[in-house]
Structure 1
Amino acid sequence: MRGIFLCLMVLTVGLRAHGGWTELTNDDFESGFGSWVDGGNDAALSATHAIGTQCLNLQDNSGAASSAWLSSSLDLQTYARLKVEFTCVTVDFSGVENFLVEFSEDGGSSWEIAGDYVHGTDFSNGVRENPVLTITDTTYNFTSNVNIRIRCDAGGNNKDVFIDNVVLSADVGDSDADGLPDTWEVEQFGNLTASDGGNDNYDGDPSSDLEECAAGTSATNPASFFHTPLTLTGSGTFDVSIDTVSNRTYVLEVSDELSPSNDWTYSESIGPILSNRTVTLSGEAPGITQAQTVIGSWYAFDANTSRHTEAADTNATGWAASLITSTLGSDTTNTWQSNDLIAGDTGPVVPDTGDSGLRSNAANENNKTITFTFTNTSGMDIALSAFHYDYRKEAFGEDLSNQTEDWANIDLIAISNVTGAADGSIVHSRAIGTGNYAWLDVDASLAGLSIANGATASFELYLTLTIANSGTKPGWGRNAKFDNLAMVGSKVSGDPDSLFGRVQVSEARFEDPSARYVPGGYSFVWGDHFGNNALDPDKWFVGMRDPVSGNLIPGADGDYLLNNKYAGYVTEEDSFVEEGSLILRNQKRSYSGTSPAGTYQYTSGWVASMHRGHLNKGYIEVRAKFPAGDKVWPAIWLVAEDLVWGPEWDLWEYFGYREDVGYDNMGMHLMTGYEQQGNLWPDQDPARWNTGWSKPFDTLYDAEAWHIYGWEWTDTDAKWYIDGNLVRTLDRSSSIDPAAWPDEEMYIILNNGVRTASPDTTTTWPNRLQIDYIEVYQ
């Protein structure tokens, strides 16, 4: 594909590809405070909720007296990140009471809050949590005198947090200031001196050592470097295939010129990648037009045995096409038939009487064929679209049943060099039918087939007898006449050398670097990063009814409304992809719906993965922005693939207002039983409803900011994460009905909703649930 795509890998300035973690402290409190100092009367060792025999117990809100800090300061000058991990259980916290992890750059003279853990949001009483806090040198000053403090800030007496297994570890930085992390250099070269960064290229491949580090490729293997094959996919569009590396983000940009001042246009991005895999990014191709056109056509055959000169369509640049002499079926006993078909002559066979057309006779058991060839010199592989032909069946003669019999198939056969079809395979077949002397026109789809650049492909149009010949003249009186033959493919115009692209690769860095969290042992199995500026029909459909199977979400009132608890009628225009994100929009407007019929005051966005993407246990991660306001009801949830309502997992269900819990609530629930009757929406069964709430959610998290929402479902529990921090755990053993714990395939619903029963006083219209990606791991 000469000149069609130039791929440049661009480092994002200032990013460091971090190496492994170095453990600094590890304390289980079995033999005392270890690395920690108790702050006063409300800090002690206790056997309550200890993993072993004792743990750290902090009480109440007595300031320093309710805390513990490191006995020796840490020198973090050569590190980039500090990770604080521990396990904890709280007792008798209420409201928004909290405990804190604090950071000091001056040995404890002053403190900054690094982690704030709030009751009802980050933990529940009596439930063991496992926080992981990552502190970065971009937010805090990593000095030679860093200290860490854990402090209880609950009100009143007898409010306890029991803390165990506290581990502090740090990520090594770049001691020789060459832009390459020390751990990476040691891993690649065994020392810090083999490369000085910059433009050094240890293995001599197309990528520098800095670029190898950013891309995650090998700096010592010349066959390992970042490169991307490209495929044109349609009119002005293309795909780039990338073998990705974990902890990297990939951004595709394109331009119609290559100069120091050229402008790059964003197309699509993916990442941060959590596990190595091949992904595809899609983009627009400035300067390239790829459109369907006729690449070979034969028409207006003249009567009275004159010849027609065939040619490719004059507008189809890069094509040569030919219609080859038809092959006559053998008939040595009936010379008149051979004469009629001009046996052995050159050029298309033209009927000797009647209207114009190309006649194909079914003589003997051999069948009449018409051969076409197409040579592709366009400079790229081009997809085929359709083969068009007009035909009429002609049956006459001794056996009058010939006129009404369906005695043959019209077959289009890929003879050679047709990509996507085996040589000799039938790519289109049509019964000739029972009608006689009636012209029909046919468009035979050739979707999925293509002709490679430089290849000459051939097809045969074949008249195949499906019944045995009868009468004294085999095949006599059985013909098909063809006219207006055309092969439709792709035409490329514009300057292929005007398209340039680059993929920027950067190491993943977050405002909170711990935001992405996938439990150990999981691998990516399904997901969508919403590229190509269009919803993928192989993964999603809009509304309640699957357009392929016809299945309806159980209990739905219609194709575009689940039930009357929702005030928004679902529309295609409110469910769309924009700049690499799925947009599910609520609008306040009058709208006439059809299923169910009625006039609605709101419309909403809603997509489902029924019969397309489903799981039985695993981990789901979504990067999203939720809307806020009293009327909104957006959700990310799972329902049963077997189309029986119940169970239902509500991963993240935001209520701007709900009567029983008030304003600004994020729900995290399991429902294990609705009694469904017919197509009526079932009533809630409180005895089988496991609720969990984070509130006030928008106040605590800023719902309309980007967050990474994670959720894990196992045989024994379910866990909810926000930005890598565990915020809720539901144990199967403590659920209302452990025997009903879900164990079946469930599909995903993503929707922005308008709640009928909620007020409309603080909601901004229109509003959006915006989803950057969703990934499923098992």
Structure 2
Amino acid sequence: MKPGVLAAIGLFAMLAPAFAQTDLTTAPNRLWLPVRNTPPDELCRRFDPMDPSPLAAVSLHRTFHDDFDAHPLATGRWVPHYAGGAAWPDARYWGGDGSDFKRKDSWNGEQQIYVDPRYGGRANTPLGLDPFKVRGGILSIIATRTPTALKPVLFNNEYISGILTTQGQFTQKFGYFEIRSKIPVGTGVWPAFWLLADDGGWPPEIDVLEGRGQKVGDMVMTTHWRIRPAGSVQSCGFDFLVPDASNDFHDYGVLWTNDRLVYYIDRRPVSDIKVPVGFDDPMYMIVNLAMGAKYFQGVGFVDAESPQVVEFQIDRISAYQIDP
């Protein structure tokens, strides 16, 4: 979730490869995904839905799955904060002003703090705040305005919200990573599903999905990497318009192979990029609902018009490994 996206707004159009699964409500044990037969010659490219280029199929088997029939903290698959690592301070996902260690990214200008039932903020005892609700197999990460009485305890953040990561629980190099979700909207609303390297450094970063809360149906998919030896961070990605994204569930995913990253909406490829330098370590998954953004356009800072309650609804999160 960093600035520098090369954005290109466009209407998402569906491709129809013969081998694509038609039942998007499930995450089967085995999956076949379409990819362009030709590797990208340029840094990154957006697919024209009318492009007649040949497609090939990639076969995968499932390695991780949570369909949220139980509370996410009861399964052992997730932790409710950034986990950190040896190179973690360089990543900036470690708190800073207005937060405890691992509970927000202040550099981004976020105005929430991530909580869970055992978190006490400045207090010595847990506050019992739970931003995760499960109803009928759907997980909601819920952001709410911080109660006035709790603001001093919670570092004066405007919202309390939730984050889930699999660092220390599940990591994988290569494969397909997917979320099925509805995307909330509103001023200051910033939902995301993304991947970071297990060693704790940044970048690389793969943003499978980011929502621009002020732009209904606008989904962003971006790759971030670092150029050595200068150390400058580069980014490349695109915006896609999914008009009913806030009302209906859709699948958003990324396929990471040896030579390319391919982004998908409803398991149909919409863009790809040559794998940049630095994508050497296994990566872990993160899903979160931030509130407020300093750099990420289309989100903005929270104000009086921002929703009192925001729900990021998630049907399932899955990962697959490429078959030999």
The normalised TM-score by structure 2 is 0.68
Structure 1 position 551, deviation (Å): 10
Residue pairs, 1:282-361, within 5 angstroms: none
Residue in structure 2 matching 1:654, options 200, 211, 232:
211
Deviation at 1:745, TM superposition (A): 0.6
Q: Distance in 1 between matches of 2:293 and 2:58?
A: 42
Specify which of 101, 110, 117 is matched with residue 566 of structure 1.
110
Amino acid at match of 1:750: V
Cα separation, 2, equivalents of 1:701 and 1:728: 20
Distance 1:568 1:273, change over 3 A: closer
- 1:27-81 deviation line (CA, Å, top 9, x unaligned): xxxxxxxxxxxxxxxxxxxxxxxxxxxxxxxxxxxxxxxxxxxxxxxxxxxxxxx
Alpha-carbon spacing, 1:743–1:274, altered in 2? closer, same or farther (3 Å): same
RMSD, aligned α-carbons: 3.7
1:714–1:534: structure 2 CA closer, same or farther, 3 Å change rule?
closer
Cα distance in 1 for partners of 2:115, 2:211 equals 21
Task: Please name the residue that 2:66 is paired with.
Answer: 528
- From the superposition, tell whether residues 273 and 122 of structure 1 become closer, same or farther in structure 2 (CA, over 3 Å): closer
Instruction: Sort the Cα spacing of 1:633 and 1:771 in 2 relative to 1 into closer, same or farther, 3 A.
Output: same
1:132 to 10, 13, 16: 16
- Report the Cα offset of residue 248 of structure 1: 8.9
Whole-Å separation in 2 of the counterparts to 1:665 and 1:702? 8
Structure 1 residue 773, shift from structure 2 partner: 0.9
CA contact (8 A) 1:584 1:751 kept: yes
Instruction: Give yes or no for contact 1:631–1:754 (8 Å, CA) kept in 2.
Output: yes
8 Å CA contact retained: 1:634, 1:753: yes
Tell me the secondary structure at the aligned position of residue 644 of structure 1: coil
Q: 1:592 aligned to 2:151? A: yes
CA distance in 2, matches of 1:671, 1:685: 11
The answer to whether 1:669 aligns with 2:222 is yes
Q: C-alpha offsets along residues 666-723 of structure 1, whole Å, 9 cap, x if unaligned?
A: 2111111299xxxxxxxx955x11132124x4xx233332112222111222222222
* TM-score, normalised by the number of residues in structure 1: 0.30
Among 692, 696, 700, the alignment partner of 2:238 is 692
In the comparison of the two structures, how many residue pairs are matched?
259
Return the offset for 1:575: 2.9
Distance in 1 separating the partners of 2:280 and 2:110: 29
User: Is residue 2:309 matched to residue 1:752?
Assistant: no
Equivalent position of 1:543 in the other structure: 81
Alignment of 1:475-554 (within 5 A): 520-545=58-83, 554=91
Query: Shift in Å at residue 647 of structure 1?
Result: 0.4
> Counterpart in 1 of 2:10?
120
Check the 8 A contact 2:167/2:198 in 1, yes or no: yes
Alignment of 1:140-289 (within 5 A): 272-275=26-29
Distance 2:281 2:72 in 1: 30
The 2-side partners of 1:674 and 1:575 are apart by 38
| Unaligned stretches of 5+ residues in structure 1 | 1-94, 97-118, 124-129, 134-166, 170-245, 250-270, 277-517, 676-683, 733-737
**Matches of 2:202 and 2:317, distance apart in 1:** 24
The Cα shift of 1:559 comes to 3.2
Spell out the pairing of 1:584-733 with structure 2 (5 A cutoff). Answer: 584-590=141-147, 591-592=150-151, 598-657=155-214, 665-673=218-226, 685=232, 688-695=234-241, 697=242, 700-732=243-275
Q: Which has the higher contact order (CA 8 A, sep 6+)?
A: 2
Which is strand-richer, 1 or 2?
1
Is 1:771 matched with 2:301? no
In structure 2, the CA distance between the partners of 1:545 and 1:274, relative to structure 1 (3 Å rule), is: closer
Partner Cα distance (1:550, 1:575) in 2:
29
Q: Percent identity?
A: 22
Q: Distance in 1 between matches of 2:28 and 2:191?
A: 27
Query: What amino acid is the match of 2:12?
Result: D
SS at 1:535 equivalent: helix
CA gap 1:752/1:519 in 2 versus in 1, 3 angstroms: farther
Q: CA deviation at 1:587?
A: 0.9
Q: Quick one: structure 1 residues 674 and 613, their matched pair in 2 at CA, closer, same or farther if it must change by over 3 Å?
A: farther
- 1:583–1:605 Cα contact (<8 Å) kept: no
Larger radius of gyration, structure 1 or 2?
Answer: 1
Quick check: 1:525–1:776 contact (8 Å CA) kept in 2? yes
CA distance in 1, matches of 2:315, 2:197: 25
Cα pair 1:533 1:579 within 8 Å, conserved: no
Cα distance change, pair 668–587 in 1 and its aligned pair in 2 (3 A): same
Q: Output the amino acid matched with 1:671.
A: H
CA contact (8 A) 1:535 1:577 kept: no
Question: Deviation at 1:568?
Answer: 0.7
Query: Shift of residue 616 of structure 1?
Result: 1.0
Q: 1:248 to 1:593 in 2, by over 3 A?
A: farther
| Per-residue deviation, 1:766 | 0.6
Matches within 5 A, 1:407-446: none
Question: Secondary structure at the residue paired with 2:211?
Answer: strand
Deviations 1:605-626 (A, max 9, x none): 1111111111111111211111
Distance in 2 (CA, whole Å) between partners of 1:692 and 1:247 is 25
Which residue identity lines up with residue 711 of structure 1 in the other structure?
V
Does the aligned pair in 2 maintain the 1:717–1:729 contact within 8 Å? Answer: yes
Separation (CA, whole Å) in 1 of partners of 2:218 and 2:278: 25
Pair 593,636 (structure 1): closer, same or farther in 2 beyond 3 Å:
farther
Q: What amino acid is the match of 1:724? A: R
Out of 261, 269, 279, the position equivalent to 1:742 is 279
- Which letter maps to 2:236? N
- Compute the displacement of 1:526 (Å): 1.3
Cα contact 1:542–1:575 (8 A) shared by 2: no
Q: Distance in 2 between matches of 1:593 and 1:703?
A: 33
Distance 1:663 1:521, change over 3 A: closer
State how far apart, in whole Å, the 2-side matches of 1:580 and 1:519 are. Answer: 30
Matches within 5 A, 1:379-418: none
**Closer, same or farther: CA 120–685 of 1 in aligned 2, 3 Å:** farther
**SS of 1:689's equivalent?**
strand
CA contact (8 A) 1:544 1:552 kept: no
| Deviation (angstroms), 1:663 | 7.5
Secondary structure in structure 2 of the residue aligned to 1:600: coil
Unaligned runs of 5+ in 2: 1-6, 31-55, 96-100, 117-129, 295-299
- TM-superposition CA deviations, 1:552-598 (whole Å, max 9, x none): 7843112322225210111111134333222211112344366xx62
Amino acid of the structure 1 residue aligned with 2:26:
P
Q: Offset of 1:273 from its aligned partner?
A: 4.7
Task: Give 2:223's aligned amino acid.
Answer: L
Distance (whole Å) between structure 1 residues aligned to residue 189 and residue 69 of structure 2: 26
CA deviation after TM superposition for structure 1 residue 726, in Å: 2.3
Partner of 2:41: none
Please name the residue that 1:515 is paired with: none
**Given that residues 526 and 775 in structure 1 are in contact (C-alpha distance below 8 angstroms), is that contact kept between their aligned partners in structure 2?**
yes
